[in-house]
Amino acid sequence: MIRIRQVSVTVADQDRAFRFYTEVLGFVKKTLYPLDVDGVRKKIALVCAQDKDGPELVLEALNPALAVTETVLQKARYTHKVAAAAFEVEDIKKEFKRLKKLGVQFAQEPIRAGAPITWALLDDTCGNLIQIFEYWDYDGETRSVTVERHIAAPPEQVFEAWVNPELACKWLMASAQSVPGDYTLDTQVGGEWTIHRRTQDKIYTAVGEYMEIDPPRRLVFTFSMPQFAVDVGTVTVEIEPAEGGSRVRLTQSGDRPGYERSTAHGWEGMLIRLERSLTGKTGQTLSSRAMPKSKKASPGKKD
């Protein structure tokens, strides 16, 4: 049987790395002894504090004979955001907050991946990016989030803003920092939609398929962002006349537990931008709530 006993990370400064990996990340020393007479290069092996007989992390010094090559490789991995190692955490949101308070710099804040993990990239101060990740401990239960808003525009105009690319690009999947990209809306049942937005140097893509189109009262479509997660949600938009305008009720179902607040916040912001694009002013959100949904088969769990 082949077992994982040691993994190594090449570091520019072993002493600095030892302090960071023990004092900040929380590993503990397993072995530490010099490899040369001057004590410049050392054998440093660390283990998890809760599993001292488990796999060891070796902090390798740059090999003098390969220092130039290893430095170039290390810089290339860093530039392209390739992790030198990956460590599991129990609660990535909690760990992210803890490390931020300690001054740790993150190249990528926690995001859901196209695999059953949420991950982030941190700078180890020694030339490497390190991934921390949390498995989705998912039992198949999903959440439904509903947001309601009054918009001072008739239902016909509100509905058109959802299905007309020239109108949708002003607000749909937008944020205050984003710039519109390509919008493709094939607004027929079974038709697909794709939206690209650019924020600084990153491009975000949202995709889906139209399931119901009943102007000007109801629109149902699937929604996902494949670069972040394999999850596919369903968004139902209901529009009805109300008080000189329209009442818009949006429900997104299929979210995993723990993301209700961010989902509601995201749609509230987009409905505000929708209202501004139609009326030039902003009213008030009528309500926002999250509800559990029935369980379904899990796509994957941690053993």
Q: For 74-89, how does the pLDDT look when each residue is reduced to its tens digit (9 = 90+)? A: 999 999 899 999 999 9
Residue 100 lies in a domain: yes
182 and 85 in one domain?
no
Question: What's the pLDDT score for residue 282?
Answer: 66
Count of CB atoms within 10 A of residue 235's CB? 18
Residue with tokens 């809306």: 185
Tell me the whole-structure pTM to 2 decimals. 0.54
104 and 197 in one domain?
no
Q: How far apart are CA 99 and CA 91, in angstroms?
A: 12
**Domain with 128 in it: what CATH number?**
3.10.180.10
236 and 163 in one domain?
yes
198 and 108 in one domain?
no
Give residue 11's pLDDT band: very low, low, confident or very high (50, 70, 90). very high
Of 114, 135, 156, the domain-final residue: 135
Q: How far apart are CA 148 and CA 151, in angstroms?
A: 10
Residue 300 lies in a domain: no
Q: What is the pLDDT of residues 166-210, one digit of tens each?
A: 999 889 988 767 777 788 999 999 999 999 888 777 788 889 999
166 and 270 in one domain?
yes
Q: How far apart are CA 98 and CA 88, in angstroms?
A: 15
Question: What's the pLDDT score for residue 141?
Answer: 65
User: Which residues, in sequence order, are bridge partners of residue 31?
Assistant: 45
What is the pLDDT averaged over residues 115-140? 83
- How many domains does the chain contain in total? 2
Question: What's the pLDDT score for residue 168?
Answer: 92
98 and 203 in one domain?
no
Lowest mean pLDDT among 5-19, 109-123, 154-168: 109-123
Residue of higher predicted confidence among 290 and 248: 248
Residue 303 lies in a domain: no
Q: How far apart are CA 198 and CA 206, in angstroms?
A: 12
189 and 122 in one domain?
no
Predicted confidence (pLDDT) at residue 123 exceeds the cutoff of 70: yes
Question: What's the pLDDT score for residue 292?
Answer: 53
Question: What's the pLDDT score for residue 117?
Answer: 77
Spell out the SS3 assignment of 92-111: HHHHHHHHHHCCCCEEEEEE
Q: What is the pLDDT of residues 210-240, one digit of tens each?
A: 999 999 999 999 998 877 666 788 999 999 9
Of 89, 117, 135, the domain-final residue: 135
Question: What's the pLDDT score for residue 301?
Answer: 40
Cβ–Cβ under 8 Å, residues 154 and 270: no
Give residue 293's pLDDT band: very low, low, confident or very high (50, 70, 90). low
Question: What's the pLDDT score for residue 229?
Answer: 65
- Nearest residue to 149 via CA among 253, 262, 274: 274
Residue 68 lies in a domain: yes
Predicted confidence (pLDDT) at residue 294 exceeds the cutoff of 50: no
185-201 exposure pattern, b = at least 16 Cβ within 10 A, e = fewer? bebeeeeebebbbeeee
158 and 179 in one domain?
yes
158 and 265 in one domain?
yes
Alpha carbons within 13 angstroms on the beta-carbon side of residue 197 total 18
Q: Which stretches does DSSP call E strand in 53-152?
A: 56-61, 85-88, 106-112, 117-123, 129-135, 143-151
Domain that holds residue 33: 6-135
Most confident of 57-66, 111-120, 182-191, 273-282: 182-191
252 and 124 in one domain?
no
**Domain with 170 in it: what CATH number?**
3.30.530.20
User: Which residues, in sequence order, are bridge partners of residue 38?
Assistant: none
